[in-house]
Copies of this chain bind each other. A is one copy, B any other.
Amino acid sequence: MQLTRAADYAVRMMIQLATLPPGTRTNRAALAASCEIPEPFVGKILQSLSRAGLISSHRGVHGGFVLSEATDAVSILHIVEAVEGPTLLNICIKPGDTCNRKFWCPAHPVWLEAQQAMTAVLRRATLASLAASSKQGGSSWTSL
């Protein structure tokens, strides 16, 4: 029940992009260095973020990667799910015939409620709030 390295790295990279002046393009090597991520890993994560529409890439001398959306429209949950797919704390939460016990199993509603509690926090944490917190030293983020 642990976040993948790729999702953690994706969040780092998106916060880094969000702290730059709007429209600033940055490249793979710069992201790898500032986010402390192995460069080959950066390319794969950029692909996932791009596919999800969270960043766009531009070619050329002044090319690079840039956020596609306003920072207050993107949450940590968006970023995590762009990399990991839909959050499923347990397989029974996935719609459809994923577990034949889900309609009577007393644990099923617990998994569902636990997932909702976790994703609510990740949904409230926008890139805008985290980038602001980053500029202030990283300690001021709160969902309250």
Contacts and interface: CB of A to CB of B under 8 A. Distances in A.
Tell me how many chains of this kind the complex includes.
2
A32 B58 CA distance: 56
A15 interface: yes
Given A114-B118, A117-B121, A121-B117, A141 B109 contact: yes
Contacts of A113: 121, 143
Interface centre among A91, A107, A139 (most CB of B within 10 A): A107
Contacts of A80: 1
Interface of A: 1-4, 7-8, 11-12, 15, 36, 76, 80, 84, 87-92, 100-101, 103-111, 113-115, 117-122, 125, 130-131, 133-134, 137-139, 141-143
